Chains A and B, each alone.
Chain A
């Protein structure tokens, strides 16, 4: 059936079954491939998008549950006041190795900074539960600190 979705400020239409996860609607129907598939069970966070600003694992979020909520993906982070700072810090510290999980990490980090502009290490530990198989955690932590204007330890 047809769903009208508000994605990155535009109304897009997708003709999919109601149980289709938002991730696959974005990737296969709408061609928005920034959110990544990693596990399909909401365990790794590679598929993280914002739904009304809240970080959400789109691989386990059925498209039928989205309704009129605003979906924001990594593709729109350059226009997001916090997201663009996070992306800049990620580039400045050259966080990525393979880079596959980083869109999800950036979405999670942006949501964290929106809720807590100066997160502590404990805040970061609690909020950043996305898996980075390359284990770039040292730089992810540093980039969050940098984006929030806090001193960065190497």
Chain B
């Protein structure tokens, strides 16, 4: 609609958006047409509203970051409510934990945490509609069934639409969710059917959906400059030079605090356009105060890690049997040191938030994976009651764990209050790459032994990571149960730490995205030492016991063997010797986020050392039910390709206490020309359904590195892969 306002100035547009009555002109127009369709709707509970015409509105409780929950979670409700999907409209919920419990995107947890509860939400609403019909027809509810938005009296065939019944549910007590009967999965009409993402039309037509697209009346634009050294304070800045730039409205220093995930010191520039704000920022010539972490560097960490590895470990994570004796008695032993770099999340949509502070109330529109902790952070930092803060969740242009932290949200709130006007804060890509919560680097020092029969008899890992003593930095830890722990009788896993002044945090498959690389690569080294087929060697290592351990750390070896057998078959592993010289397959598996994944990569290494990934095969076991197969396939293919991007390209280097890389020119991501086909098979097993955002990523990295070894005899022990060393 804005396109028709020929010659409109920004001011006129803003006026138009006020007339629109809502936060954004185009948002409100879209909302209006949906509102007309759902007029007179009756709420059955916090999630479900039914309009007289039968259109059902279902709330999407969690943040949508591209993992598909805005569609898949309402599918669970719609299935048990028993409505036709084409009559469902989905609305993004605001952050409101009182109504919707925990609302976040993380840990691949949306499906396992909500599959039962949301189906029961739908079943409760259905039961209320059935009861309303039974009262009207003066018959027992048990004589009624439902189908596609109608209650039907079985004996007489009498029918009533949900739309006609919803009004009679007002004020009627809902049944206890625990008592409602759920459908037999064999009768599912929505769950298990490939369902396009609800927003797909809006996405392909470029409609405003994302945080960056939010516009509120009277809004100004902000940029915020922070020190490259994390947490350093402002020493000096030429605020007047920035103020002199046309369009700049306010320039001020923010003292900030010391919490790396909170409001850090910096300079805010607020202007009538974002470009003007950036030009103002360019004039600042900010100088930063000295900071204790300004001498930290990747080179320094590498050196310190080698020193720590040479000394006695600080902490024991696991000690089974006698590793030293087993190594002595082994037919063959292998020793190797592995490492991987810091990584930035770099979601496509740079961090942003729009905030408006009026009459003591803060209203926030944010692409956050974790809005409630953001609200609490704004409350504690600004001294506002949490009840006076509203957080609207926008669609997120990617998340990958980055938006579990809400630093950009608290910055926007602070700047908006200080500026005395609604403000959209938008980071530059450089800001995003310089101020991430990075996937931490890590160092693993292995010793392993195999016996003459090809059994792993000893496994030792001295893991050097970041932290203080036993307390490790965020997402920089490793559990003592990571495979092959518990599958090797003599197993020692130790840990040493070094201090870190770089913020770290969870990145898609945290921990696993690094641990799978080192463990599954070193297992491959042992397989080759034993002269064994790397896949058969792994199958043997998984043993005969179906289940190892119990509870959250239980490892279902049977399920892993199932996916390993599946990937063996689908990839044609047995025929890999027929591949031409320079082309080979590698295999790896990993268990994370309750999912069992085995993957094979076929890669070709050129004489120049260039690596081309020809194909990836993924066998996945996430239980008995794939909620949205088309979405599930997209997640798995994307995760596998992201893993290849980690392996081939990505690296953040710390120099002088700051991240060296700044944009996609020096932090490249995988592009079309390098993206191989990814064939996926879901192995269905009788276990509760679990999530798919993350667990497909970890195994692809070691599978690629193992393929490169098979092709060249050269072992990749640090990432990203240095293709120069592969030249022959």
Contact = CB atoms under 8 A, between A and B. Distances in A.
A12 B6 contact: yes
Interface in A114-139: 124-126, 128-139
A78 B196 CA distance: 19
A125 B424 CA distance: 36
A99 B637 contact: no
Interface in A28-72: 28-41, 43-44, 46
19 contacts: A12-B7, A17-B279, A20-B273, A28-B273, A28-B274, A29-B10, A33-B212, A36-B397, A38-B349, A40-B428, A91-B200, A91-B201, A98-B347, A128-B672, A131-B669, A134-B66, A138-B677, A140-B672, A141-B672
Given A31-B215, A131-B671, A138-B637, A97 B275 contact: no
Contacts of A78: 205
Nearest to A124: B672
Majority SS at the chain A contact face: loop
B273 A29 contact: yes
A103 B348 CA distance: 12
B672 A129 contact: yes
Nearest to B64: A98
Given A44-B348, A99-B203, A12 B8 contact: yes
A135 to B, nearest CB: 4
B395 A98 contact: yes
Q: 3 smallest A-B Cβ distances: which pairs?
A: A34-B206, A98-B66, A100-B397
B638 interface: yes
B682 to A, nearest CB: 14
Given A31-B215, A103-B206, 17 more contacts: A12-B8, A28-B273, A28-B275, A36-B212, A36-B348, A40-B428, A74-B206, A76-B3, A77-B204, A90-B203, A91-B200, A91-B204, A97-B635, A98-B64, A128-B671, A131-B348, A140-B672
Given A12-B6, A31-B13, A96-B197, A44 B664 contact: yes
Interface in B635-653: 635, 637-639, 641-642, 645
A16 B206 contact: no
B429 to A, nearest CB: 5
A140 B634 CA distance: 11
B348, B350, B399 pick with most chain A CB within 10 angstroms: B348
B673 interface: yes
Interface of A: 7-8, 10-13, 15-17, 20-21, 24, 27-41, 43-44, 46, 73-78, 87, 90-91, 94-103, 106, 124-126, 128-141, 153
B489 interface: no
Contacts of B10: 28-29
Given A29-B10, A133-B346, A90 B65 contact: no
Contacts of B204: 74, 77, 87, 90-91, 95-96, 102-103, 106
B212 to A, nearest CB: 7
Nearest to B10: A29
A24 B221 CA distance: 12
A87 B215 CA distance: 26
B210, B347, B638 pick with most chain A CB within 10 angstroms: B638
Contacts of B669: 131, 133
Interface in B1-26: 2-10, 13, 25-26
A124 B201 CA distance: 23
Given A28-B273, A39-B663, A97-B66, A137 B206 contact: no
Contacts of B64: 98
Contacts of A95: 204
B67 A87 contact: no
Interface of B: 2-10, 13, 25-26, 64-68, 194, 196-197, 199-201, 203-210, 212-213, 215, 221, 246, 273-276, 279, 346-350, 395-400, 426, 428-430, 630-631, 634-635, 637-639, 641-642, 645, 663-665, 669-673, 675, 677-678
A125 B672 contact: yes
A137 B205 contact: no
A41 B663 contact: yes
Nearest to A131: B669
A19 to B, nearest CB: 8
Contact of A133 (B2, B201, B213, B348): B348
Contact of A87 (B205, B426, B637): B205
A97 B246 contact: no
A124 B672 CA distance: 8
Contact of A28 (B221, B639, B664): B221
B212 A133 contact: no
A133 B67 CA distance: 13
A33 B213 contact: yes
Contacts of B430: 40
A13 B7 contact: yes
B65 A8 contact: no
Contacts of A43: 663-665
B2 A30 contact: yes
Contacts of B3: 7-8, 10, 12, 32, 75-76
Contacts of A133: 346-348, 398, 400, 642, 669
Contacts of B68: 97
